[in-house]
Copies of this chain bind each other. A is one copy, B any other.
């Protein structure tokens, strides 16, 4: 009955990041920090986990002279997100 909830996605901040990237396709560190309201430290750690899981790609570049970290969702991340949402339906009683 209850499907397992992917623990990598079952985290408030990582879920928020994935949620943004699902519709934005690409977003930089500062944007993600502002949209989620997270601290930079926390965001840094969670981005790292999502990247290591292969759910997002992280690209480092410069915008002018300032460093810029850009994140984008991968096909794998997109699929995992969809699966998570589907599993959640069991718990919250809303069929997708």
Residues of A within 8 A of B (CB): 1-2, 4-5, 7, 10, 12, 15-16, 19, 22-23, 35-37, 84-85, 88, 90-94, 96
| A4→B12 contact, CB < 8 A | yes
| B22→A93 contact, CB < 8 A | yes
For residue A90, which residues in chain B have a CB less than 8 angstroms away from its CB?
19
| A12→B19 contact, CB < 8 A | no
Closest CB in chain B relative to A63 CB, distance in Å: 24
For residue A96, which residues in chain B have a CB less than 8 angstroms away from its CB?
94
A65 to B22, CA, bound (A): 55
| A94→B93 contact, CB < 8 A | no
| A93→B19 contact, CB < 8 A | yes
Known: A2-B37, A36-B2, A88-B88. A93 touches B23 (CB 8 A): yes
Known: A2-B36, A37-B2. A91 touches B19 (CB 8 A): yes
Q: Which residue of B lies closest to A82 (CB)?
A: B92
